[in-house]
Structure 1
């Protein structure tokens, strides 16, 4: 996840034994975390829940990783995590440092096996004065969709350099851009990608003065066998009945089919 509450340069891992949600504790993979700390691009930070802390608090109020855990617990039930908060990844001139991404990827790759799930957390276009990002005042939904689709095409193609050029050109605010770029370099060339869902918050709320775009992607390696299912380790998926749409109701964001669905090598 990107660092939402603190300014850090590289990557940080919380020095804790577990994260706890209403569904129970999720233990850290301590061995994997220790291995990553051999890289200068990773740091371990203890927690200080104080009104006036002695240092900048990175993990104390970071919500990016914690927001994902209940969803993972619902489907996976038992697992260990290595929660990484990603910083700016810039060089001495405050420009994007692709070498930092490569170094992080080199540290992560030896830890991945056939049962490793890599989750990169990011939202997409942040539109509005609150984000210092309001490149247009008319046809706002169409403009946001255009920005998002440009980004989606680059994510599906795993084009890290093209994605950086897009960020530089459009000045679009994508909070987890560095997380996305790490994932791009971590994935094998032969992997296939697919977009699962896409929503614009301003369409949902009716307030386009402050809008954030959300999308979900999946990536898989067709050369690798599917992981063996473990039904005893998976929570049953509850069945929800979708209420019928009201006649004449606004259908909101265009369906997922309106954006690229799959990228094949």
Structure 2
């Protein structure tokens, strides 16, 4: 079985040529890196944090994260950490994933080793309607065109805070056990502000306040401190939807030897639309 895309034609173009153009435009856009990645793949990274909204909003932010992947050594496995917007528990997927750019294979050997360590189960229903991992894949395919036949992913949904550290440890130990060159991709947007999201702790200077709120969280990500990151969210109420994938990613990368994360880009949907009555923050970071 193959997991079919559920948000193509909505979050991103459902035609391969149009989708490739849309991704290229994200790299060249005002909030993107301004150019396509170089062809040199010499860097070593542990992971990235990338947003997961419609490409007209999150695409430029994602382009920053995938530029880092494009310029680093190709991974044997990309460990994809997402959330369940529908409330499913933490789980894995063993099906290959289809996008308009082709099919991405799941690293079943990695998943089997991870599932044995973590106790997580396969749940294709949970993954079938969830967009947080899906929207990452066209970018991953785009920057790995020359390696498309070798491209493999390990999709994991993380839903329970009490299991986050355990899952992070299992990811790190599985990477060590399998001896694979792995890059961890955490899928998350940042603060969701406005009546649509039930979060409006400030009414004035919304742009400045959103930037400041999210950058407070980003400071803890930069120091790879998952406890302080989660504590900051508890203290401020910041509506960072992928907080668990982010916390797991920085924890796992730290175990594997990462020293820091670097912010690449941050902006909000309001910075694009100039409407801050309902806005979402998009941050991109690389873990080194």
* TM-score relative to the length of structure 2: 0.65
Report the counterpart of residue 81 of structure 1 in structure 2: 153
Separation in structure 2 between the aligned mates of residue 59 and residue 114 of structure 1, nearest angstrom: 24
Q: Using the TM superposition, give the Cα deviation of residue 29 of structure 1 relative to its aligned residue in structure 2, in angstroms.
A: 0.4
Q: Answer whether contact 1:8 1:88 (CA < 8 A) is retained.
A: no
Query: Is residue 2:261 matched to residue 1:162?
Result: no
RMSD between aligned alpha carbons? Answer: 1.7
Determine helix, strand or coil for the equivalent of 2:281.
Answer: strand
5 Å matches for 1:190-201?
Answer: 190-201=258-269
Query: Is residue 2:232 matched to residue 1:187?
Result: no
Separation in structure 2 between the aligned mates of residue 164 and residue 110 of structure 1, nearest angstrom: 22
Q: Using the TM superposition, give the Cα deviation of residue 73 of structure 1 relative to its aligned residue in structure 2, in angstroms.
A: 0.6
Determine helix, strand or coil for the equivalent of 1:120.
Answer: strand
Q: Using the TM superposition, give the Cα deviation of residue 4 of structure 1 relative to its aligned residue in structure 2, in angstroms.
A: 3.8
Cα pair distance change 1:149/1:66, threshold 3 Å: same
Separation in structure 2 between the aligned mates of residue 179 and residue 110 of structure 1, nearest angstrom: 17
Query: Is residue 2:136 matched to residue 1:68?
Result: yes
Q: Using the TM superposition, give the Cα deviation of residue 146 of structure 1 relative to its aligned residue in structure 2, in angstroms.
A: 0.9
Moved beyond 6 Å, runs of 4+: none
Q: Using the TM superposition, give the Cα deviation of residue 40 of structure 1 relative to its aligned residue in structure 2, in angstroms.
A: 5.0
Gaps of 5+ in 2: 1-80
Determine helix, strand or coil for the equivalent of 1:81.
Answer: strand
Report the counterpart of residue 8 of structure 1 in structure 2: 88
Report the counterpart of residue 36 of structure 1 in structure 2: 114
Q: Using the TM superposition, give the Cα deviation of residue 190 of structure 1 relative to its aligned residue in structure 2, in angstroms.
A: 5.0
Deviates more, 1:100-109 or 1:70-79: 100-109
Larger radius of gyration, structure 1 or 2?
1
Corresponding residue to 1:129 among 182, 195, 202: 195
Report the counterpart of residue 146 of structure 1 in structure 2: 212
Q: Answer whether contact 2:91 2:121 (CA < 8 A) is retained.
A: yes
- Number of residues of Structure 1 aligned to a counterpart in Structure 2: 199
Determine helix, strand or coil for the equivalent of 2:152.
Answer: coil
Corresponding residue to 1:23 among 101, 123, 142: 101
Q: How far does the alpha carbon of each residue in 1:6-58 deviate from its partner, in whole angstroms, 9 at most, with x for none?
A: 2133x211241x101111110000111111222454110134xxxxxxxxxx2
Cα pair distance change 1:166/1:68, threshold 3 Å: same
Higher relative contact order (CA 8 A, sep 6+): 2
Determine helix, strand or coil for the equivalent of 2:187.
Answer: coil
* TM-score relative to the length of structure 1: 0.70
Cα pair distance change 1:105/1:115, threshold 3 Å: same
